[in-house]
Amino acid sequence: MGDSSLTSQRVEIIDCLLSYTRGIDRLDEDCVIAAFHPGAVLHNYGPDPMVIEEFVTYALPSLRKRYEATQHRVSNIRVEMDDKRALVESYVLAFHVESSDEGKKLHTFNGRYVDEFERRNGHWKINKRSLRNDWSKVESISEEMAGSDVWAKSSRDRTDPIYDW
């Protein structure tokens, strides 16, 4: 594989990771599913592995009901690949804001996605994902930043301005 081909394939892989993070935070099923091959298996998201199609029908309604906002960030992306497979390790830092009668809480998760990508029909997508937990914490949000009452809020659906383009 030439360098430009490797670079474009790595970009395609990273775009899949970002499609997942946008989808999970905007609660956009199509965006989440676009990162995975049909029937891709996710491990460590619950007691049993589940396929991506089951995951979105379980996770997105749960996230919508429990949290008023989430933000998933990926970094330290390491891609090891051959012609048809890639092992991709990505650090994930995820924030979840929960509102209750007792006030707001911030749930912070720091871990890794260990993804097995496959190239099928010329496209790289996740075929298997394993979630790893390095640490997490829950803390009360007793005070918000000055100006937060003025800033436009993000939307957790297709009314978010990112979809206007």
Domain ranges for the chain, please list them.
3-145
Q: pLDDT value at position 150?
A: 81
List pLDDT tens digits, range 36-77: 999 999 999 988 999 999 999 999 999 999 999 999 999 999
Q: pLDDT value at position 2?
A: 56
Q: pLDDT over 90 for what percent of the chain?
A: 76
Query: What predicted TM-score, i.e. pTM, was given to this entire model?
Result: 0.91
pLDDT band at residue 148 using 50, 70 and 90 as cut-offs? confident
Tell me the C-alpha distance between 163 and 165, whole Å. Answer: 6
Sheet holding 50-51, edge to edge: 50-51, 36-43, 123-141, 103-120, 85-100, 69-81
Among 27, 57, 21, CA closest to 155? 27
CATH class, domain 3-145, is alpha beta
Higher model confidence: residue 26 or residue 1? 26
pLDDT band at residue 98 using 50, 70 and 90 as cut-offs? very high
Tell me the C-alpha distance between 37 and 79, whole Å. Answer: 18
